[in-house]
Amino acid sequence: MTTTVKSIVNQPYKYGFVTQIESDTIPAGLNEDVIRLISAKKNEPDFMLDFRLRAYRQWLKMEDPRWAAVSYPPIDYQSIVYYSAPKQKEKLKSLEDVDPTLLETFEKLGIPLSEQKRLSNVAVDAIFDSVSVATTFREKLAEHGVIFCSISEAVREYPDLVQKYLGSVVPIGDNYFAALNSAVFSDGSFVYIPKNTKCPMELSTYFRINNGESGQFERTLIVAEAGSSVSYLEGCTAPMFDTNQLHAAVVELVALDNAEIKYSTVQNWYAGDKEGKGGIYNFVTKRGLCQGVNSKISWTQVETGSAITWKYPSCVLVGDNSVGEFYSVALTNNHQQADTGTKMVHIGKNTRSTIVSKGISAGQSKNSYRGLVKIGPKAEGARNYSQCDSMLIGDNAGANTFPYIQVQNNTAKVEHEASTSKIGEDQLFYFAQRGISMEDAISMMISGFCRDVFNQLPMEFAVEADRLLSLKLEGSVG
């Protein structure tokens, strides 16, 4: 291995720093009192506390799912802190009121929040441990009737909308982690796009876990009214700790007639060290409901971080002619484990879905695609195309593909293609013999492999995703 490669390999996780800030943290542990306390801290209306308690009681009766191709020791839910918020003034009038330490933290993460430096056409909601610390461009969005705020504010200020849609796509008892999230979620983003409105800028939420003991349980709800459209992006990082932290999020999307939601994720949670110590357990439920006719929901994800990823962004295609898409790149290195994929549930007529999944496994990692395509009895003329490609780097990584296909309507058309390839030493030698460095060689091969997915990302993030993948992989061969 050349020295440059070595130095890049040994480069520490860039976002692994801890911000020293005074926090309002409740003691570890979970019971009904803790849930009441969280709800009280957030001044929630009764319906919300009721929602949480119902979810908690369901969760108590459920079991940790173990069907995914990942292994980890049992999680002690009583050792997790369920609420931790940086101490700052009660009500923030403007960004000037945000603790400078927090602004600095986000700036270091490449997400400037201050007026002068912010990204020009992207509105950002910044979430630090359990709370949202700032949301940019709110006034500008409000001019168009677009609501973009933290879910906590939405619960207080738009209770009717929240009550109508929260839990409508992912019911409280949907699965173990969704139930837990419904009971204890502390913050997240809320987006509402009114009728016939094209959201004038990209919306984005940046999630940061800072506290070593706290879990992050965020909740995102996006509602696109008839004829509206929005593109939303989330990014995530966390400091390096030796212990594992739990991140159990729920994202719900609702698209009404002719509405379109594009949801992109670049996930770079701390993945643990080379020996597999530490890292985030990322157990996430994401689901979109194409409720209206001709509606469209598109998920794009670039998953590079986390010790364990358990995540299946799904589309429920109820409206006739609605469209669901899933574009995914999942990269695992060292001892990372990923079990990720999607569910496309076709209910309405002429519904269409596309799945493009690219799994890259290096080191001793394990990377599985798990996907369900379900065509209901009334889904006349439904179509699905799935393509699942795996790339192995080195000899010790593993890749699995678990496609589940259920068809109950004989007019449906379902296609599935899969391939496995390998970046081998001989290919790298071929590049080297033409004068191309190992770094450039890997980066070219990975870009080529991921092109179909990167093309779906907003431009500035596509470049970032490309760079991130190359960085994560360098030194994994040779």
CB 467 to another protein: min, Å: 16
The token pair at 400 is 């699995």
Cβ-based nearer residue to another protein, 93 or 434: 434
Cβ-based nearer residue to another protein, 96 or 440: 440
Polymer length in residues for the chain: 478
Exposed, middle or buried: residue 419 (CB in 10 Å: 0-12, 13-18, 19+)?
exposed
Cβ-based nearer residue to another protein, 251 or 469: 469
Quick one: which H or E segment has residue 301? Answer: strand 296-303
Quick one: which H or E segment has residue 54? Answer: helix 46-60
CB 385 to another protein: min, Å: 19
The token pair at 157 is 């200020």
Cβ-based nearer residue to another protein, 404 or 430: 430
CB 358 to another protein: min, Å: 10
Task: Look at residue 318 and give its three-state secondary structure.
Answer: coil
Exposed, middle or buried: residue 40 (CB in 10 Å: 0-12, 13-18, 19+)?
exposed
Q: What is the DSSP string of 221-283?
A: EEEE-TT-EEEEEEEEE----SSEEEE--EEEEEE-TT-EEEEEEEE------TT--SEEEEE
Neighbours of 228 (CB within 10 A): 24
The conformation of residue 12, written as its DSSP 8-state character, comes to: P
CB 326 to another protein: min, Å: 20
Give how far the C-alpha of residue 92 lies from the chain's centroid of Cα atoms, to the nearest Å. Answer: 27
Cβ-based nearer residue to another protein, 98 or 477: 477
CB 456 to another protein: min, Å: 16
Angle at 357 between CA 356 and CA 361, to 5 degrees: 160
CB 264 to another protein: min, Å: 21
Cβ-based nearer residue to another protein, 73 or 435: 435
Between CA 382 and CA 348 the distance in angstroms is 8
Token pair 């270091």 in the structure block, residue: 108
CB 142 to another protein: min, Å: 44
Positions that interact with another protein (CB under 8 A): 2, 421, 425-427, 429-438, 440, 444-445, 447-449, 451, 478
Cβ-based nearer residue to another protein, 32 or 417: 417
214 - beta bridge partners?
Answer: 81
The token pair at 458 is 């907003």
CB 429 to another protein: min, Å: 5
Cβ-based nearer residue to another protein, 439 or 464: 439
